[in-house]
Amino acid sequence: MTRLVGKVALITGGGTGIGRAIALAFAREGAKVAVAGRRKEKLEETLRELEKQGSKGGLAIVCDVAKAKDAARAVRETAKAFGKLNVLVNNAGVLHAATIEGTSEEQWDKLMTINLKGPFLMCKAALPEFRKAGGGAIVNVGSVLGLVAMKDRAAYCASKGGVSLLTKAMALDHAHENVRSNCICPSIVETELVQGLFAASEEGRALRKARIGSIPLGRMGRPIDVAEMAVFLASEESSWLTGAAIPLDGGLSAY
């Protein structure tokens, strides 16, 4: 397939779950791919998966997206390795399940730093490279909880709501530079992060069943579901789409 041939993409949180699925889908479509994250061993696993599907020359960058110097370095190393940068996928994120009373100041700061400050810093670092390339595409992986709320997710909802509106603001600010900015808003997706929400007990299984029962299409999302949407948003097929926060939620937000 060739939907992303000639494009260079940098994907944060690319070592596991949704980020890895996006890296594999982008490479399958012809893109050169750099994956960034804090765990070197997980990034290297992604590179091995890329090689298994016949994609060589991927780049792994160990960095903390919430640090400006690391964000700038990730962009710089990607552009140096591949000659340019066309697509930035802000996928790195963390989850905390609690009300505000059950959320410490440290937990609040962690969510805001990784989920919201991280995309801010990465986008800021990427914009000069987009200008050199004559434009670019920002794909933020937000959450349906950046569009609607849920009990026991106060800080998470706040952080992902920020991502949705940051996406829209950047779309307006940079449309004249041919820089598009869109946000994928998934509901619950089968990843390592989500598996930790459900205990290996009868109660955990019942909670999982109830959660799936709230989704009209009757299943959790899969990483590939998000990856295919990311391919569309990174490709020229979506060249007239910017400023969108797209629910990818099995119909959950249609209620």
Active site residues: 156
What is the H or E stretch that residue 251 is in?
Answer: none
Among 83, 61, 79, which Cα is nearest to 70's?
Answer: 61
Structure tokens at 165: 């509106």
Q: Identity (one letter) of the amino acid at 143?
A: S
Q: Of 171, 19, 203, whose CA–CA distance to 94 is shortest? A: 19
Q: Can you read off the two tokens belonging to residue 242?
A: 């910017």
The three-point CA angle 60-66-68 to 5° equals 85
| Burial call 165-199: b when 16+ CB within 10 Å, e when fewer | ebbbebbeebeeeebbbbbbbbbbbebebbeeeee
Query: Closest Cα partner for 43 from 27, 19, 25, 64?
Result: 19
φ, ψ dihedrals at 179, nearest 5°: -105, 115
Task: Look up residue 32 and give its two tokens.
Answer: 């050169």
> Measured between alpha carbons, how far is 198 from 127 in angstroms, rounded to an integer?
39
Query: CA neighbours within 13 Å on the CB side: how many for 9?
Result: 37
Rounded distance, CA 43 to CA 26, Å?
Answer: 15
